[in-house]
Amino acid sequence: MKKLVGVIVGCGAIAREHLAVLSNFKDVDVGAVCDISPVRAEATAERFGIKKWYTDHKELISDLRPDLVHITTPPSSHVPITKDCLAEGLNVLCEKPITIEYSDFEALRDLASEKNLILMENQQNKFHSCVLKIFDLVHSGKLGDILEVQILNSINLVGDGSPYTDANVSHFSSSLPGGPIGDFLPHIAYLAYMFTGEVLEVRTIWEKRVGNTSLRADEFRGLIKGARASAYVSFNGTAKVEGFWLRVVGTKMRVETNLYEPPRFTVRRFRSGEPSLMTLLDGIAESRDGARGSVTGFVRKLAGRSSYDGLEELLSRTYRAIELNQPQPISLKEINDTCLLKHRLSRLESSL
């Protein structure tokens, strides 16, 4: 059977994650990599045993006509490269945020629809093992009705050597609405959308708490009123304890996970019985879940599993869709809605 061919445009850290996943796929060949820095492209090709490397994406796509182009460049270059690929009739999987401005996404969306091509944004956490587990609990009815969703992201953007505050080289995210926080907003937006459904109302707070940094804002809070549920979302840019917590409170159960530490996952169920005894049992159960998750997470690291849990599933489903000529794993409408939500979440930041 003929193998599918993928290519990578942009050879930074995230490209390595894509390439590591693709090396596990028996039915996909990486035809070439591309970067504007020749040495970065060559080093990436050598490391992953890829025969060809380019410094011009147009030359690459015209030479190889790949089945899927992975765009892993900084966001400001996503639109022109994606346009070039779609115009050439090629499917695209682009890193988040797929576009900086929503209007640019609309143009790409229309082009992809017109040409009947796949246009995906990397929304890997949709397929994160813990998120899939929560969805199983929702769909099986075990969680009950969703009452509340909390998505709390904490990353130290201002620590020593942080690329986000490098005084010599401006980080690519500084051009995004929300600055570096804007680089994380797509994850927050699509995860929230999964639970809230159609977005009815959005309120946000953007704040700069630490004065002596180049960040425009280091704190973000948002409330999203959706058709199915409401969500509280937040980002802390100066926290030393980092994490990406997702909490879903249902009528029968509360689940909590840190997406940076898969498969750590704790569940608290509704139990009938003597309250103090149930509290004890719940505490024991949570400790057991936490310990089991921590040990399994440690073993996963030793096993060399990617910290980008969900990327493998997303790539696998995308290539399967291409192979079987099926709809893309995340519909254009859903990507559109999450881009719009991201846009609404970041809109007020510009007034800072």
Partner 1 sequence: MKVLVSGAGGFLGRFVVQRLLERGHSVRAIVRASIDAPLWDGDVEIFRADLRVSSELSAAFDGVEAVIHLAAAVTGNEDVQFASTVVGTERFLEAMARSSTRRFIHVSSIAVYDWSCVRRTMDEEIPLVKNAYEMGGYTIAKVWQERLVVRAAKEYKWDLTIMRPGFIWGPDHACIAGMGRQFGRIYLTFGLFTLLPLSEVRNCADCLVLAVETPLPGTHIFNVFDSGRVRVLRYVSEYKRRSSQRGMIVPIPYRLGLGIAILAKWTSRLAFGKKGKLPSLLMPRRYESQFKPIHFSNEKLKRELGWVQRYNFPESLDFTFSKDVRVL
The Cα angle at residue 52 between residues 14 and 72, in degrees rounded to 5? 20
CA dist 35 and 72 (Å) reads 10
Judged on CB neighbours under 10 Å (0-12, 13-18, 19+), 51 is: exposed
The minimum distance between CB 329 and partner 1, in angstroms, equals 25
The nearer residue to partner 1, 150 or 162, going by C-beta atoms, is 162
Side by side, the strands of the sheet bearing 253-258 are 199-207, 219-226, 230-236, 146-154, 243-250, 253-258, 265-269
The minimum distance between CB 44 and partner 1, in angstroms, equals 10
The nearer residue to partner 1, 17 or 218, going by C-beta atoms, is 17
Binding site for partner 1 (CB under 8 A): 12-13, 37-40, 43, 47, 161, 163, 166-169, 301-305
The minimum distance between CB 101 and partner 1, in angstroms, equals 24
The minimum distance between CB 19 and partner 1, in angstroms, equals 12
The nearer residue to partner 1, 41 or 332, going by C-beta atoms, is 41
The nearer residue to partner 1, 12 or 263, going by C-beta atoms, is 12
The nearer residue to partner 1, 167 or 227, going by C-beta atoms, is 167
The minimum distance between CB 221 and partner 1, in angstroms, equals 29
The minimum distance between CB 304 and partner 1, in angstroms, equals 4
Residue 338 pairs in a beta bridge with none
CA dist 348 and 352 (Å) reads 8
The nearer residue to partner 1, 273 or 304, going by C-beta atoms, is 304
